[in-house]
């Protein structure tokens, strides 16, 4: 609705608790002045809830700006779709937004992604590599629904788009994340997945072995899952700072997890 009330040629879809970096607006106006862009995507830095610690200096790993034409839709999808779950990086032509199907994506929680990736493909998109936004991580109002959103709603949306190969969609998100041990253990570790979520979302997905793993993880003690996941990331991927931040702030956080977080300079509260 906000876009409908706007009067400019472009709208920057911002979140209510993220920050725009100094000079960002001037950069946007420069990029859009006289351009034929349908969409401008701006990179973001990720910080903790009090903004005092950088969890990731840039969400997109790009070090140079990128431009995509309509025929580059597959590459754009592979490169940027995951990031576009964050609405604050989207600067879109207002007439394009109003002229595309939005109602089909009501309830998806990601209407903007539906607008961007539906057919026909956007004719000209630019991605700015420099972070123009600071994401205040760990403060989303839907955190309690994380398992449902990221394991069912988000994959359903990504896999709904026509004209994108399965291989490219798989690069963004698995079709059935509820079958993945690492995903299940993480949500169990932060308290977003339990026997209740198993019964509500997973139990009707199949039979026998198909749901045996999700059931086993649902019954795993959450503090144990928390410690195991923290140790895994400490050994295998110390760059997973946002995930470790989630673990450290969880009500199931353990001394092991907090020790790992402190060693990596990640806040535990």
Q: pLDDT (tens digit, 9 = 90+) per residue, 132-190? A: 999 999 876 666 789 999 999 999 999 999 999 999 999 999 999 999 999 999 999 99
Annotate 73-106 with b (16+ C-beta within 10 A) or e (fewer).
beebbbbbbbbbbbbbbbbbbeebbeebeeeebe
CA dihedral 236, 238, 239, 245 (to 10 degrees): 120
Range of the domain at 116: 2-136
181 & 124 share domain: no
215, 107: one domain? no
Comparing C-alpha atoms, which of 98, 91, 113 is closest to residue 5?
98
Position 269 in a domain: no
C-alpha span between 121 and 103 (Å, rounded):
18
pLDDT of residue 141: 61
pLDDT value of position 26: 95
Q: Of 117, 136, 155, at which residue does a domain stop?
A: 136
Same domain, 117 and 171: no
pLDDT digit string (tens) for 84-94? Answer: 999 999 999 99
């Amino acid at each position: 609705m906000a876009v409908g009330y706007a009067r400019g040629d472009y709208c920057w879809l911002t979140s209510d608790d993220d920050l725009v970096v100094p000079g960002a607006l001037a950069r946007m106006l420069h990029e859009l002045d006289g351009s034929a862009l349908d969409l401008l995507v701006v990179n973001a830095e990720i910080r903790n809830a009090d903004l005092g610690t950088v969890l990731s200096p840039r969400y997109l790993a790009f070090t140079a700006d990128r431009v995509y034409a309509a025929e580059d839709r597959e590459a754009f999808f592979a490169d940027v779709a995951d990031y576009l779950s964050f609405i604050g990086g989207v600067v879109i032509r207002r007439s394009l937004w109003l002229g595309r199907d939005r109602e089909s994506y009501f309830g998806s929680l990601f209407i903007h992604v539906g607008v961007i990736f539906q057919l026909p493909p956007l004719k000209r998109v630019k991605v700015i590599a420099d972070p123009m936004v600071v994401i205040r991580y760990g403060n989303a109002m839907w955190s309690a629904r994380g398992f449902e959103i990221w394991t069912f709603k988000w994959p359903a949306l990504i896999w709904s788009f026509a004209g994108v190969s399965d291989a490219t969609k798989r690069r963004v998100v698995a079709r059935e994340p509820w079958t993945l041990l690492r995903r299940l253990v993480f949500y169990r570790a932060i308290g977003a997945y339990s026997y209740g979520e198993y019964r509500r979302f997973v139990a009707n997905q199949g039979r026998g072995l198909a749901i045996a793993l999700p059931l086993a993880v649902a019954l795993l003690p959450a503090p144990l899952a928390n410690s195991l996941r923290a140790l895994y990331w400490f050994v295998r991927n110390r760059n997973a700072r946002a995930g470790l931040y989630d673990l450290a702030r969880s009500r199931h956080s353990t001394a092991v997890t907090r020790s790992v977080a402190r060693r990596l300079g990640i806040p535990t509260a």
